[in-house]
């Protein structure tokens, strides 16, 4: 099990100006750009035992820190 703080810390590493709440919207608001998302994907692949594929690159998986955590836990179970 992972915590939401691990995800938020990774987001802060990508963009130090961000300190999002677990349910804070990240994509539509432009807080994370497509370049930031790919940096985050590489960080997630490196920090957790998962392999994110192009099929996982959907807006709903990166919408909020909580959605990212849900995706990580789902991919770890697969």
- Summarize as ranges the residues that interact with other proteins (CB under 8 A): 13-14, 16-17, 30, 33-35, 38-43, 45-46, 52-55, 57
Q: Report the alpha-carbon distance of residue 68 to residue 32 in Å, rounded.
A: 13
- Residue nearer to other proteins on the CB measure, 29 or 33: 33
Closest separation in Å from C-beta 44 to other proteins = 9
Closest separation in Å from C-beta 13 to other proteins = 8
- Residue nearer to other proteins on the CB measure, 3 or 53: 53
Q: Report the alpha-carbon distance of residue 62 to residue 56 in Å, rounded.
A: 9
- The number of CA neighbours under 13 Å toward the Cβ of 6 is 13
């Amino acid at each position: 099990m992972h915590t939401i703080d691990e995800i938020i810390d990774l987001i802060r590493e990508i963009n130090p100006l961000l300190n999002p709440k677990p349910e804070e919207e990240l994509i539509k608001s432009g807080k994370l750009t497509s370049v930031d998302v790919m940096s985050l994907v590489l960080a997630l692949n490196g920090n957790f035992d998962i392999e994110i594929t192009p099929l996982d690159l959907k807006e709903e998986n990166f919408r909020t820190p909580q959605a990212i955590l849900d995706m990580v836990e789902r991919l770890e179970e697969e």
